[in-house]
Amino acid sequence: MRKWLLILLFPLVAQAAGEGSWEASSIGITLSNRGVSASSRPLSAPEPVSGLMTLVAWRYQLIGPTPAGLRVRLCAQTRCIELDGESGTTRGLDGVPAIEPLRFVWEVPGGGRLIPALKVQSNQVIVNYR
């Protein structure tokens, strides 16, 4: 009986501790030129949250090859972090208010057209906060 009571109360305990998470995703972008940056749509909590970001997981999917020198950043309003692959986790946004929207920012250095263009199919973040 005691075990079941703990299982039933766990969501209330986690909520009381002020911990939570939110997830957001969007369709991607197309980047046709080197030397310019493009931003994803803002990814934000589906409802108001309070607290500070702790661990953030990200994932993006490309259509086609990855251009040489591709630079991808994940940005809050006040801070950006460099991403080192198509998926992973970071604590680089620790302390950022959990209510702040996040954006992926894409850039390929140089000049001229990208052939083929960089096509991002989707972007996703899961933000843990406390």
User: What are the tens digits of pLDDT across the range 106-120?
Assistant: 999 999 999 999 999
Q: Does a structural domain hold residue 3?
A: no
Count of other CB atoms within 10 angstroms of residue 20: 16
Q: What is the pLDDT of residues 53-66, one digit of tens each?
A: 999 999 999 999 99
What is the pLDDT at residue 18? 60
Q: Does a structural domain hold residue 4?
A: no
Strand order in the sheet with 71-75: 37-39, 103-107, 71-75, 80-82
Residue 66 vs residues 12, 77, 88: alpha-carbon distances, Å:
44, 27, 17
Q: Does a structural domain hold residue 47?
A: yes
Q: Kind of pairing, strands 71-75 and 113-129?
A: unpaired
Global pTM exceeds 0.85: no
What is the pLDDT at residue 114? 96
**Positive or negative: CA dihedral 47, 48, 51, 55:** positive
**48: containing domain:** 20-129
Alpha helices in the chain, H assignment, sequence order: 2-16
Residue 34's domain is classified under what CATH number?
2.60.120.260
Q: Does a structural domain hold residue 70?
A: yes
Q: Does a structural domain hold residue 45?
A: yes
Contact at 8 Å (CB) between 118 and 106? yes
* Structural domains in the chain (count): 1
Q: If you ran DSSP here, which 8-state letter would residue 101 be given?
A: -
Is the pLDDT reported for residue 84 higher than 90? yes
pLDDT over 90 for what percent of the chain? 85
Q: Does a structural domain hold residue 27?
A: yes
Average pLDDT, the chain: 89
Q: Does a structural domain hold residue 5?
A: no
Q: Does a structural domain hold residue 25?
A: yes
- Per the document, the length of the chain is 130
Q: What is the DSSP code string of 50-74?
A: -SBEEEEEEEEEEESPPPTT-EEEE
pLDDT interval class at 16 (50, 70, 90): very low
